[in-house]
Amino acid sequence: MTTPRPETLAKLTPVLTKRWLSPDAWRIGTYEKLDGYAALRKALRAHPDDLIQLIKDSGLRGRGGAGFPTGLKWGFIPQGDGKPHYLVVNADEGEPGTCKDLPLMTHDPHSLVEGVIIASYAIRANRAYIYIRGEAVHAARRLRNAVQEAYARGYLGKNVLGSGFDLDLVVHSGAGAYICGEETALLDSLEGFRGQPRLRPPFPATHGLYASPTVVNNVGTIASVPYIVLGGADWWKSMGTEKSSGPMIYSLSGRVANPGQYECSMGVTLRELLELAGGMQPGHTLKFWTPGGSSTPLLTAEHLDVPLDFESVAAAGSILGTTATQIFSDQDCPVYATYRWLEFYHHESCGKCTPCREGNYWMVRVYRRILAGQGTHEDLDTLLDTCDNILGRSFCGLGDGATSSVTSSLTYFKQDYLDYIEGRTAPKLSDKQLVGAH
Amino acid sequence: MTVFTEETRARAREIIARYPADRSRSALLPLLHLVQAEEGYVSPAGVEFCAEVLGLNKAQVGAVATFYTMYKRRPTGDYLVSVCTNTMCNVLGGQEVYDTLAEHLGVGHDETSADGRITLEHAECLAACDYGPVMTVNYDFFDGVDPQTAVGVVDELRAGGRPMPTRGARLCTLKEMSVQLAGFADEREGAVADGGPGEPTLRGLRLAQQHGISVPGFDPNTPIKRRDAGEKPAPATPATAAPGVKTPVDGAPPAPRDAKAAEAAGVAANAPAGDGKPAGDDAGAQERSLKEASASARSELASPAVASERGAEQ
């Protein structure tokens, strides 16, 4: 493996991932030795409004995919309204390709717990929940252990560190529904209902959990807070770009030599990430990739130099999303890849709105037909037409996301579709898998 | 209703006490994990139990139970083997792993082997794409599997062995795992300590370590700016603020103003939801419930327990 060039190596910014190298960082004793809970002590001496301003100044944007400014979100919580406030951490990581929050919660759970306490203090919440994906059992073990340890040391519970601030934190396991990563569906699920998205407005900032003001933030967002409190907004902005500040954990998977987690300054390019990851696997040439999970439109080898920050990826016609870069090569078929993602969206559609529920159901069937060598040219029009009826007409982002890979693969790889339809590519699915497709 | 022991009832009360007193329905998901821990699936009796302790009807509980993939509707084996067949794992070989296991065990998706040991399922993305193709046994990871290693794992499980996952804790049964999912600590000695990070997790870090790279300028004593302009650090600071983020130039307190504006906008634009969800409750009830909840969390035996006893009498 060739060593990456110094200017590429300089893009690495080990901040949130730094403690993962210490095998016992999940224990409170080790965590405390590594700056742990220092940010909390510092934050409790500050006025909550100053903390909100600090997060605003840092330019921190949500790490869950949408990139909403975190400080602004906290500022939306009405103060002095006499209602209880809630902080809910969205740890329902499930976007295909995304694998950054699980290692963080497994190897450094206290950084999330500490972030929760500081954020709750800032928005004046006395109850916080971490809604963790059900399947993430080992991360949940470590997180529950961390919460217990934090209670025992007086970081949680009544009168946190003698500050007069009370906070209770519950780790709540989900039960295997991707839709619960959507914030209002998550709130419904946390209230004990089916996880289906809510109509907005009203927004969670005024009518969230139990119809009270609620902040819902991603794991990476909240885990960033202690570092900003310690190092300050200017230090945080020394990483990333002007509008997308800070470090970001890029998750490389697929046909690369060394897949894994690479925490880099925001705005790193795929070319640089590939250099860090030792290039493509031998015998593979980059064909298509997702910048941030399967709900973000595919990009191609043309886009190797697009800075992976919120603005630049949007300008390239995609979405930064969760920075889950799934990398596919000339040996992978974009039609089949899209079909598998659609099977996912079809399975995970909550059924609340018709465009998503029916649209994904039918698109899966059209794909099966194409992949079985029985597609027609009209099928491609049908797919685009269906996408038109889902995008912007669904109740939440799940339906919109489902269309991303369909429309982008048809834009960049129409020939691959035509090759199935016109018989140049051997069918990938057999007739028996076609039952019900017509 | 004899299947649920007093221990389960005590656990149910403990779960309910985690949530605000008049928001006990929040306990439904953990309670469904709890009844699954008892029976290996969510049976009609399990649905009835949840309904009883929460004061819901069975239809309300059933509607929730059937929505979520992890609540099984038929008896399961001791081990749930989930193979990721979503796009990334799929193209890296996950589909062959699943097909091989299905043939080897003679079962399809969500079915249990004849000896009652193993339930097989194909799963959607398990959030370990850098380790693909992956499978899990009772949700703990076996990374980078191929058909042979996967068959080896299930054969060992059927022979009564417990192969060690690549990451995560030593295996337990699905019922034991469901207790943890209901929110209880893993009591097994050393289980929380099991499973260090794998190489893909650490790759970027190792590279940074090898080349001595860290982020410069980190000073944990950097002061937090106070809104009463007293101690302005440097005049250059406001100018460098990220665009799109409002920076006060006059030193006036910005946060309360933002909050007021947001609240005013919120009140004007946001009528409470009218979709049958529990939105728009009056603030008094909220405060009351919070007070009661914190009281009950301390004294352990609170109104939900009373509710469940009332249910038991019926």
Which chain B positions have a beta carbon within 8 Å of A236's beta carbon? none
Give the A:B interface size as CB pairs under 8 Å.
Answer: 387
Q: In the numeric block, which tokens belong to residue A347? A: 């399975």
Q: Pick from B15, B17, B26: which is nearest to B297 by CA?
A: B17
Q: Which residues of chain A have pLDDT under 70?
A: 1, 431-438
Kindly give, in sequence order, each residue whose CB lies less than 8 Å from that of residue A313, ignoring residues fewer than 6 positions away. A291, A292, A296, A306, A307, A319, A320
Q: Pick from A377, A388, A387: which is nearest to A419 by CA?
A: A377
Q: Pick from A289, A192, A218: which is nearest to A73 by CA?
A: A218
Provide the pLDDT for residue A433.
61
Burial string for B134-166 (b: 16+ CB within 10 Å, else e) reads bbbbbbbbbbbbebeebbebbeebbeeeebebb
DSSP for B130-179, please give it: GG-S-EEETTEEE-S--HHHHHHHHHHHHTT--PPPSSSPPP--HHHHHH
Q: Any idea which residue has 């399967």 for tokens?
A: A294
Question: Would you give the DSSP letter of residue A256?
Answer: B
**Average model confidence (pLDDT) for chain B?**
81
Cβ of A175 and B63 within 8 Å? no
pLDDT over 70, % of chain B: 72
Q: Pick from A125, A86, A119, A80: which is nearest to A207 by CA?
A: A86
| Radius of gyration (C-alpha) of chain A in whole angstroms | 22
Cβ of A166 and B218 within 8 Å? no
Provide the pLDDT for residue B313.
38
Which chain B positions have a beta carbon within 8 Å of A262's beta carbon? 203-204, 207
Closest chain A residue by Cα to residue B255: A49
Closest chain B residue by Cα to residue A227: B220
Which chain A positions have a beta carbon within 8 Å of B98's beta carbon? none
Cβ of A138 and B279 within 8 Å? no
The Cα B153–Cα B155 span in angstroms is 5
| Shortest Cα distance, chain A CAs vs residue B3, angstroms | 23
Angle at A424 between CA A423 and CA A428, to 5 degrees: 75
Cβ of A135 and B243 within 8 Å? no
Q: Any idea which residue has 């070989």 for tokens?
A: B93
**Which structural domains are found in chain A, ordered by start?**
35-237 (3.40.50.11540), 334-434 (1.20.1440.230)
Helix (H) or strand (E) holding A314, with range, is helix A310-315
The Cα B136–Cα B202 span in angstroms is 21
Res. B279: pLDDT tops 50 = no
User: In 3-state terms, what secondary structure has residue A80?
Assistant: coil
Burial string for A21-40 (b: 16+ CB within 10 Å, else e) reads eeeebbbbebbeeebbbbbb
Closest chain B residue by Cα to residue A241: B242
The Cα B157–Cα B50 span in angstroms is 32
Provide the pLDDT for residue B294.
52
**A239: contact with B, CB 8 A cutoff:** yes
Q: Any idea which residue has 């290692």 for tokens?
A: A103
Contact assessment for residue A241 and residue A267, using Cβ atoms and an 8 Å cutoff: yes
Cβ of B273 and A198 within 8 Å? yes
Provide the pLDDT for residue B291.
53
Closest chain B residue by Cα to residue A23: B196
Q: Pick from B275, B221, B231: which is nearest to B251 by CA?
A: B231
| Shortest Cα distance, chain B CAs vs residue A125, angstroms | 11
Bridging pattern class, strands A299-300 and A286-290 = antiparallel
Provide the pLDDT for residue B256.
43
The Cα A319–Cα A228 span in angstroms is 25
Interface residue of A30, A55, A57, A200 to substitute, partner B, most B CBs within 10 Å: A57
Provide the pLDDT for residue B264.
53
Q: What is the pLDDT of residues B91-141, one digit of tens each?
A: 999 999 999 999 999 999 999 999 999 999 999 999 999 999 999 999 999
**Which structural domains are found in chain B, ordered by start?**
1-76+174-192+301-314 (1.10.10.1590), 79-172 (3.40.30.10)
User: In 3-state terms, what secondary structure has residue B265?
Assistant: helix
The Cα A323–Cα A248 span in angstroms is 8
Provide the pLDDT for residue A1.
58
Q: Any idea which residue has 């504006």 for tokens?
A: B261
Write the residue in B215, B263, B267 that is nearest to A15 by C-beta: B215
Q: Pick from A95, A66, A65: which is nearest to A341 by CA?
A: A95
Cβ of B127 and A136 within 8 Å? yes
Write the residue in A59, A134, A138 that is nearest to B168 by C-beta: A138
Provide the pLDDT for residue B229.
53
Contact assessment for residue B253 and residue A48, using Cβ atoms and an 8 Å cutoff: no
| Shortest Cα distance, chain A CAs vs residue B226, angstroms | 6
Provide the pLDDT for residue A2.
79
Cβ of B127 and A98 within 8 Å? yes
| Shortest Cα distance, chain A CAs vs residue B313, angstroms | 25
Give CA separation, A202 vs A208, B41, B42, B265, in Å.
8, 37, 34, 11
Provide the pLDDT for residue A430.
80
The Cα B197–Cα A17 span in angstroms is 11
Category of A204 on φ-ψ map: left (φ > 0), alpha (ψ -120 to 50) or beta: alpha
The Cα B210–Cα B204 span in angstroms is 10
Angle at A311 between CA A229 and CA A97, to 5 degrees: 80
Burial string for B180-196 (b: 16+ CB within 10 Å, else e) reads bbbbbebeeeebbebbe
Q: Pick from A179, A171, A180, A177: which is nearest to A150 by CA?
A: A171
The Cα A187–Cα A180 span in angstroms is 8
* ipTM of the shown complex: 0.95
Cβ of A344 and B220 within 8 Å? no
Provide the pLDDT for residue B261.
58
Which chain B positions have a beta carbon within 8 Å of A232's beta carbon? 219, 222-224
Q: What is the pLDDT of residues A322-374, one digit of tens each?
A: 999 999 999 999 999 999 999 999 999 999 999 999 999 999 999 999 999 99
Provide the pLDDT for residue B250.
38
Kindly give, in sequence order, each residue whose CB lies less than 8 Å from that of residue A399, ignoring residues fewer than 6 positions away. A345, A349, A353, A355, A356, A359, A360, A390, A391, A393
Which chain B positions have a beta carbon within 8 Å of A76's beta carbon? 258-259, 262, 266
Q: What is the pTM of this model?
A: 0.88
Mean pLDDT, range B4-28, rounded to an integer? 95
| Shortest Cα distance, chain B CAs vs residue A112, angstroms | 17
Q: What is the pLDDT of residues B204-253, one digit of tens each?
A: 999 999 999 999 999 999 999 998 754 444 433 333 334 444 433 333 33
Helix (H) or strand (E) holding A63, with range, is none
Give CA separation, A180 vs A89, A183, B212, in Å.
12, 7, 40
Q: Which of residues 293-322 of A touch B (CB under 8 A)?
A: 294
Q: What percent of chain A is helix, strand and coil (3-state, nearest 5)?
A: 45, 15, 40
Contact assessment for residue A356 and residue A346, using Cβ atoms and an 8 Å cutoff: no
Q: Which of residues 89-148 of A touch B (CB under 8 A)?
A: 93-99, 101-103, 106-107, 126-127, 133-138, 140-142, 144-145, 148
Cβ of B242 and A54 within 8 Å? no
Kindly give, in sequence order, each residue whose CB lies less than 8 Å from that of residue A331, ignoring residues fewer than 6 positions away. A255, A283, A284
